[in-house]
Amino acid sequence: MAKELVLYFSVYGTSKIVAEEIAKQTGADIREIEPVIPYDSNRDHYNALTRLAKKEHDEDQRPAIKNRIDITAYDRIYLGYPMWWYTFPMIIYTLLEQYDFSGKTIIPFNTHMGSKDGGTYKTIRELAPGARVLEGLPVEMRDAENNPEKAVENWLKSLN
């Protein structure tokens, strides 16, 4: 039996909700990707977060990851994140560039406000060439916050 990990990044908690549902339905371990410099999780400051996300993207920054996550024992890794500027947050680039996913199966999922996966599943394939990348699950933000159980269940069934 493959050992599974749900690995996610979330600022407003939306991707965390989906990550927790995946872990609940699969029995996988779950770990959060924590940045060294935390992002402001107050939704009233959304515009400031979008400006910061755009700056990181435009400057091709690689925010540092605070917590070292040992992925060596895992065969299947569900990788979750929100969409920022039609791609994943730059900290996901940090993760994919610093960790060796060779021989692992990556199963992406993301939350969005209309951009679906924005081509990020293809980008994961490019950044983790030694990994097998399965079809991901894009979940619209409002759906993620309001009972994503059925969407997760249907997606997990489609993977088998």
What confidence category does residue 160 fall into, taking pLDDT thresholds of 50, 70 and 90? confident
The first and second tokens of residue 68, run together, are 């070292």
Residue 105 pLDDT level (bands cut at 50, 70, 90)? very high
Q: Which residues of 105-138 are buried (b: 16+ CB within 10 A; e: fewer)?
A: bbbbbbbbeebebbebbebbeebbeebebeebbb
Count the alpha carbons within 13 Å of 62 in the hemisphere toward its beta carbon: 6
**Domain boundaries along the sequence of the chain:** 4-159
pLDDT of residue 2: 81
Q: What is the rounded average pLDDT for all residues in the chain? A: 96
In this structure, CATH architecture of domain 4-159: 3-Layer(aba) Sandwich (3.40)
Cα–Cα–Cα angle for 42, 43, 45, rounded to 5 degrees: 75
Does residue 98 have a pLDDT over 80?
yes
The per-residue pLDDT for 143 is 94
Contacts of 25 by beta carbon, 8 Å cutoff, 6+ apart: 149, 152, 153, 156
Q: What number is the average pLDDT over the span 75-79?
A: 98
Instruction: State the Cα–Cα distance between residues 100 and 71, nearest whole angstrom.
Output: 8
Q: Which residue intervals of the chain are DSSP H helices?
A: 14-26, 46-58, 90-98, 120-127, 141-145, 149-159
| pLDDT tens readout for residues 79-97 | 999 999 889 999 999 999 9
User: Whole-structure pTM over 0.85, yes or no?
Assistant: yes
Average pLDDT of the segment spanning 34-49:
96
